[in-house]
Structure 1
Amino acid sequence: MLEYRGEVRKLASKMMEVMDENLGLPKGYIKKAFNEGMEEDGEEETAFFGTKVSHYPPYDEYDGLQVLKDGEWIDVQPPMTNAIVINTGDQIEVLSNGRYKSAWHRVLAREEGNRKSIASFYNPSYKAAIGPAAETEGGSEKKYPKFVFGDYMDVYATQKFMPKEPRFLAVKSL
């Protein structure tokens, strides 16, 4: 498991670099944004990485995902044997000013057999201020407020299965 986590963390770092490039941001922009606010405390990188291993028995309910494909939201249907599904998350949606969309979580009834999942998360520091990157705007209006990630998580804990757009508005803006 430690080797797997290490490889997934490398993949997350590489994906952030690819997104930096795709968005026209300087290399390391997203990683720095995820660690913002730490330099004044003299702390090292404090974005955090976690892994959750889950087993879902038949006909249980599970936290389902939808992803945007060709402009349409589609369900990520288990089982997806030996697949890695990358959900860029709400923070990347905000940093990209909506160019990347996060998956929508909701509870779904399962129809098929057992499912196992290993979900890994690379999250900003709780002190990081997350907002649209100026470089991604191209003169367009900011679609999201700037907020502190820890404040966002307080809202997320109670609104996880609700539509995500109200979450962004419920967080205290900077």
Structure 2
Amino acid sequence: MATLNPIDLSGLNDERLASYVRAQIAEACEKNGFFQVINHGVPVELMDRLKQVGRKFFDLTKDEKLAYAGKPVIGSEGYGSRMVLDETEPKFWREFVELHTLPLSERHYNYWPQQPAEFRETVEKYTAALLDLPQRLLAVISESLGLKPSYLKEALGEPHQNIVFQCYPPCPEPGKTLGLPAHSDVVAITILMQEGDGLEVAAENDTWELVPNHPNAFVVNLADQIEIITNGRYKSANHRAIVNNDRTRRSYVTFYHPAKDQKIFPAPELVDEKSIDQVNHQKHLP
């Protein structure tokens, strides 16, 4: 099991502990880009409410859920599902609801479930409460690289946010598929709330390590855009979701994207002759 012990963010408010907490975050970013945080400022009761509306929605009938389907069903917004056991096909075993939450102009409420009745209000409050956490983490990560605290925030521009409710039902043959195949996130930073074990992160020697499900913790995942800005110093790690044959697992993932018109490039302070030589060497590899 991965040694992803939660980092207590309350230490950032204590001068005696702040440097230790920053060092923990920096080490995790450099090691694999995955870490967990507790005392993150998001009310536990709000986290619980989001889980409740997620459970209630996925418990609806198939027809009720399809009323909020994207076009096509496996779309970038709205409800979708895919259950594949054929080993020759891309491997998926999940159903989901993806919603755009920021900027406000991109909220398409026709895709937001009206059942349960409290769904919309809960999502709005939850995603609003999650705006501060990635900004605080980006400031710490910037400083750990010797950059000004606001560097990553400014480099990403106006944040775009979306949330994905994911449900992984019991699978009759879990050895033939995955909830989600191995991938890295194309965004800047991802904040995930687990409900059950099943998330795995790539480890050494082509192995996978289970990310433990700690109560009231968020899993933080650095994504592709941070790897670019840090010039590869901090990695966007591959991860995947596994399934089982006896219980349902759910997760709630909030993604933070750069502004759509933002140009993403390595921080000049992190580019040196060595890194340029490495890039040129890779370009000439056969």
Query: Is the TM value for this pair above 0.5?
Result: yes
* C-alpha contact 1:79 1:115 (8 A) present in aligned 2: no
1:156-167 alignment, distance < 5 Å: none
Alignment correspondent of 1:126: 260
1:75 aligns with 2:197: no
SS in 2 for 1:117: strand
The one of 104, 125, 133 equivalent to 2:238 is 104
* C-alpha contact 1:67 1:74 (8 A) present in aligned 2: yes
Paired residues in the alignment total 135
Q: Which amino acid aligns with 2:217?
A: A
- TM superposition shift of 1:105: 4.3
Alignment correspondent of 1:4: 126
- TM superposition shift of 1:53: 1.1
The one of 155, 163, 169 equivalent to 1:51 is 163
* C-alpha contact 2:200 2:242 (8 A) present in aligned 1: no
Q: Which has the larger radius of gyration?
A: 2
Alignment correspondent of 1:157: none
SS in 2 for 1:97: coil
- Structure 2: how far apart are the matches of 1:51 and 1:32? 22
- Structure 2: how far apart are the matches of 1:131 and 1:105? 24
Greater shift after overlay, 76-85 or 1-10?
76-85
* C-alpha contact 2:228 2:265 (8 A) present in aligned 1: yes
- TM superposition shift of 1:97: 1.2
1:25 aligns with 2:147: yes
- TM superposition shift of 1:99: 1.6
- Structure 2: how far apart are the matches of 1:139 and 1:53? 43
- Structure 2: how far apart are the matches of 1:12 and 1:124? 12
- Structure 2: how far apart are the matches of 1:71 and 1:125? 36
Q: Deviations over 1:106-135 (max 9, x none)?
A: 5x5512621111100110012111121111
Q: Which amino acid aligns with 1:126?
A: K
- The unaligned stretches of length 5 or more in structure 1 are 36-44, 146-168, 170-174
Q: Which amino acid aligns with 1:55?
A: C
- Structure 2: how far apart are the matches of 1:26 and 1:109? 39
CA root-mean-square deviation = 3.2
Q: Which amino acid aligns with 1:99?
A: R
- Structure 2: how far apart are the matches of 1:55 and 1:134? 41
Greater shift after overlay, 48-57 or 1-10?
1-10
- TM superposition shift of 1:27: 2.0
1:147-162 alignment, distance < 5 Å: none
- Structure 1: how far apart are the matches of 2:225 and 2:206? 21
- TM superposition shift of 1:81: 5.0
- Structure 2: how far apart are the matches of 1:118 and 1:137? 35
- Structure 1: how far apart are the matches of 2:180 and 2:259? 24
TM-score calculated relative to the size of structure 2: 0.40
Alignment correspondent of 1:62: 179
- TM superposition shift of 1:140: 3.2
- TM superposition shift of 1:55: 1.4
- Structure 2: how far apart are the matches of 1:125 and 1:144? 26
Q: Which amino acid aligns with 1:75?
A: E
> Cα 1:50–1:10, aligned 2, differ >3 Å: closer, same or farther?
same
TM-score calculated relative to the size of structure 1: 0.63
